[in-house]
Chain A
Amino acid sequence: GAGVSQSPSNKVTEKGKDVELRCDPISGHTALYWYRQSLGQGLEFLIYFQGNSAPDKSGLPSDRFSAERTGGSVSTLTIQRTQQEDSAVYLCASSPGGLAEETQYFGPGTRLLVL
């Protein structure tokens, strides 16, 4: 079946512009995660959605970052007034029920370059 998909696969933008990154989780998965992977860095947790619960936003680096998940499925990560340090690969993952022992299935990522 289809895995986690993300779009766009690559995005180049100018400093100060807003960008929207999209994640389509595996159908039926209730948990959705956003991570950021910078060059030479590990994965940095950004935000976690579980079912209809309020999302865990503790990892968002600044108030320029926001995310929403419509209808418990597709999620959009929005970065306002992008900065060069926002350049990274943004990864989305989903898991069936959000349980810790479940595999998180990762998408291919969106490579963001802020000029």
Chain B
Amino acid sequence: GEDVEQSLFLSVREGDSSVINCTYTDSSSTYLYWYKQEPGAGLQLLTYIFSNMDMKQDQRLTVLLNKKDKHLSLRIADTQTGDSAIYFCAERETSYDKVIFGPGTSLSVIP
């Protein structure tokens, strides 16, 4: 069945770049997402990428997709303390399928 995996923890210093990695198993995945969950807050969609794209950039965020290896990454440039949160990778085959989330990566930013 479908599975999405992430490392559970990442710690970086303020001002450095953060790279959060994700792997998925479903080769039919069409949509790949990154969600952010801040302490005590709901999930917020950060960005998504279609499977026919290799890269998507949005301000400090860069998403890289290696479809061959089924590997997705989220790079946050100039990481700030406000970026401390749990980041979830998720995938969906089509609009008619459920969204499969990974376990989340807890990002800690050290001042």
Contacts and interface: CB of A to CB of B under 8 A. Distances in A.
Most buried by B among A41, A42, A48, A50: A42
B98 A42 contact: no
A109 B67 CA distance: 33
B42 A41 contact: no
A27 interface: no
Contacts of A43: 43, 88, 90, 101, 104
A60 to B, nearest CB: 11
Interface residues of B, number: 24
B30 A100 contact: yes
Nearest to B5: A42
A41 B103 contact: yes
Interface in A45-62: 45, 48, 50, 56, 58-59
Contact of A109 (B30, B42, B45, B97): B42
A50 B92 CA distance: 15
Interface of A: 4, 33, 35, 40-45, 48, 50, 56, 58-59, 91, 93, 98-101, 103-104, 106-109
Interface of B: 4, 6, 30-31, 41-45, 48, 88, 90, 92, 94-104
A-B pairs, 7 with minimum CB distance:
A42-B103, A43-B101, A106-B42, A100-B95, A100-B31, A106-B43, A103-B45
